[in-house]
Amino acid sequence: MIKPKTASLNKNQAPEPEFQAVNGKRLLFCFDEPELTGEAGLLALAEFEKGVGLFDKLADCLRDRRKGSLHGHRDLVAQRAMQIAAGDGDAAGCSRLRADPALKLAVGSEADLASQPTMSRLENRARPRDLLRMGYALGELFLDSFEGKAPAMIVIDMDPTAHLVYGQQQLSLFSSHVGDSCLMPFHVYDGVTGRLICATLRPGKVPAAREILALLKRIVPRIRSRFPDTRLMFRADSHHSKPEVMDWLGSKEVDWAVGQQPNNALRSLVADQIDQASSDWKLREKSLENAYPLRRYASVEYKAASWKQPRRVVCRIEAGPLGTDVRYVSTSLGEASARAIYEGVYCDRARAELMIKDHKLGLRSDRSPCRSACANQFRLTLHSAVYALLHRFREKALAGTALARACFQRIRIELLKLAARVETLKTRVKVHLPQSFRFKQVFASLAKGEEEKLA
């Protein structure tokens, strides 16, 4: 048991707690360093952001109605975004970190940064039109990430995810599926690259066709205006298989692979294949002790009563010791096999769950504590901006390092949460980092890139 004790003090000397000796040497703690930080890695992210200009773009979307304000919108957005990247998802940390030397350098301010009340007022000041402009700015950032080279395909992965709420938040509803009151914002990613397209707040219920179309009608035309020859595909679960959505996608020449709810009519079309799979499983179970479940695939033309025309539905049949499980996928793809569509196209949308995990757990974006829906949307937009920035930082600055495929939590722990001593001189600021730091090359490459711009 370690028993802390205090060394003898002079009148003007700060306390120096002393622990038990280690290898015969006294262990003292001296609280005498004026400019220490645990967020030095944010400076690398801030240097990378200068080449993207994300904070300026978001700040330009906000109308400043204040008079005599100490902190501009650009500094407020940068401060809030950098704190999110550092793992502080709430405005409450602003007062604690406002004097942090590394955070001030990352924002580009010499004075202390904004406090929690100032940041909370910013969250509640955003209006729907401001939020729409910020959403468009994130969409333009996504399109800019291709650096002018049109991609062969963009896969629009859309999925709602639950934000549990415990107050009187606007749009909150009780969801029997989740078992609690929640919001269910849409998360939309490019399934090929993992880059975020947008995230928008919505009520905690199954999405309606008009909600899905309202978002797609903003996304698809903007992609087409930049990349008219790029092939587009929409991919989602069965909640999105609305007739109006499929009709609209078909009219805009957008492919789709969407989960289809099972029903008796569909099952009757593949009844023979289901019976055959069940029979084959029984034979395999008799001949092998540890038999693996077997899979069969089928493809049928199906027309529901609400559909204007028949569509292709792919069926995956899995027979095993727990019985027979059947899944259906509605698709516009006619050239690929049923197995390729299900395993290679539809099941690949599970990668979107990893993207949502980085967004929600890595950045703590599922906290929606404000009562106003606009304020919670503002928070979600800022978290989405940090997702876009960190994802691009990982793609560019961390390529070839051990963090090239790391989740955001690991990047934060190993790179952003970096202890350093900040020395402020008359004409320069020196940040002293550990000699044993693993990712020196990241800082060196960012500095080299800046030198090449100035040359």
Residue 338 lies in a domain: no
State the residue range of the domain holding 416.
36-125+374-454
On whether both 142 and 217 belong to a single domain, the answer is yes
For 71-84, give one letter per residue: b (16+ CB within 10 A) or e.
bebbbbbbbbbbbb
What is the residue-wise DSSP string for 377-438? HHHHHHHHHHHHHHHHHHHHTTTTSTTTT--HHHHIIIIIS--EEEEE-SS-EEEE--TT-T
On whether both 278 and 224 belong to a single domain, the answer is no
On whether both 150 and 177 belong to a single domain, the answer is yes
- Give me the CATH number covering residue 203: 3.30.420.10
Contact 297, 341 (CB under 8 A): no
On whether both 133 and 248 belong to a single domain, the answer is yes
- The first and second tokens of residue 45, run together, are 């992210």
Q: What's the pLDDT at 35?
A: 86
Q: What's the pLDDT at 165?
A: 94
On whether both 199 and 145 belong to a single domain, the answer is yes
Q: How far apart are CA 186 and CA 160, in angstroms?
A: 4
Residue 333 per-residue DSSP state: -
Instruction: Return all residues near 70 (Cβ < 8 A) that are at least 6 apart.
Output: 111, 114
Q: What's the pLDDT at 454?
A: 45
Residue 27 lies in a domain: yes
3-state secondary structure of 160: strand
Closest CA to 362 of 386, 392, 394, 397: 386
- The first and second tokens of residue 54, run together, are 């994300």
In Å, how far from its chain's centre is CA 372? 22
On whether both 397 and 410 belong to a single domain, the answer is yes
CA distances from 451 to 100, 147, 278, 448 (A): 27, 21, 66, 5
Q: How far apart are CA 415 and CA 432, in angstroms?
A: 15
On whether both 359 and 237 belong to a single domain, the answer is yes
- Residue length, the chain? 455
Could you identify the residue written with the tokens 């092998």? 288
On whether both 68 and 167 belong to a single domain, the answer is no
CA distances from 71 to 74, 112, 115 (A): 8, 10, 10
On whether both 278 and 303 belong to a single domain, the answer is yes
Which residues pair with residue 311 across a beta bridge? Answer: 302
Contact 311, 302 (CB under 8 A): yes
Closest CA to 246 of 234, 231, 232, 262: 234
Q: What's the pLDDT at 1?
A: 46
Residue 360 lies in a domain: yes
∠ Cα 117 122 124 (to 5°):
95
3-state secondary structure of 274: helix
What is the residue-wise DSSP string for 220-253? HHHHHHH-TT-EEEEEE-GGG--HHHHHHHHHTT
Neighbours of 248 (CB within 10 A): 18
Largest CA distance in the chain: 91
Residue 203 per-residue DSSP state: B
- The first and second tokens of residue 204, run together, are 């905690």
On whether both 169 and 276 belong to a single domain, the answer is no
3-state secondary structure of 97: helix
Per-residue pLDDT tens digits of the chain, which is 455 residues long: 445 455 444 555 567 888 888 888 888 888 878 888 999 999 999 999 999 999 999 999 998 888 778 899 999 999 999 999 999 888 888 999 999 999 999 999 999 999 999 999 999 999 999 999 999 999 999 999 999 999 999 999 999 999 999 988 999 999 998 999 999 999 999 999 999 999 999 999 999 999 999 999 999 999 999 999 999 999 999 999 999 999 999 999 999 999 999 999 999 999 999 999 999 988 888 887 677 889 999 999 999 998 999 999 999 999 988 889 999 999 999 889 999 999 999 999 999 999 999 999 999 999 899 999 999 999 999 999 999 999 999 999 999 999 999 999 999 999 999 999 999 888 999 999 998 899 999 999 998 775 555 45
On whether both 193 and 243 belong to a single domain, the answer is yes
Sign of the CA dihedral running 303, 307, 312, 313: negative
Q: What's the pLDDT at 316?
A: 96
- Number of helices followed by number of strands (H, E) in the chain: 16, 17
Q: Total domain count for the chain?
A: 4
Residue 438 lies in a domain: yes
3-state secondary structure of 305: coil
Q: How far apart are CA 209 and CA 217, in angstroms?
A: 12
Closest CA to 222 of 131, 156, 160: 156
Is this model's pTM higher than 0.85 or not? yes
On whether both 277 and 328 belong to a single domain, the answer is yes
Residue 193 lies in a domain: yes
Residue 395 lies in a domain: yes
Residue 343 lies in a domain: no
- The first and second tokens of residue 135, run together, are 């959403």
Residue 345 lies in a domain: no
Helix, strand, coil percent values for the chain (each to nearest 5)? 45, 20, 35
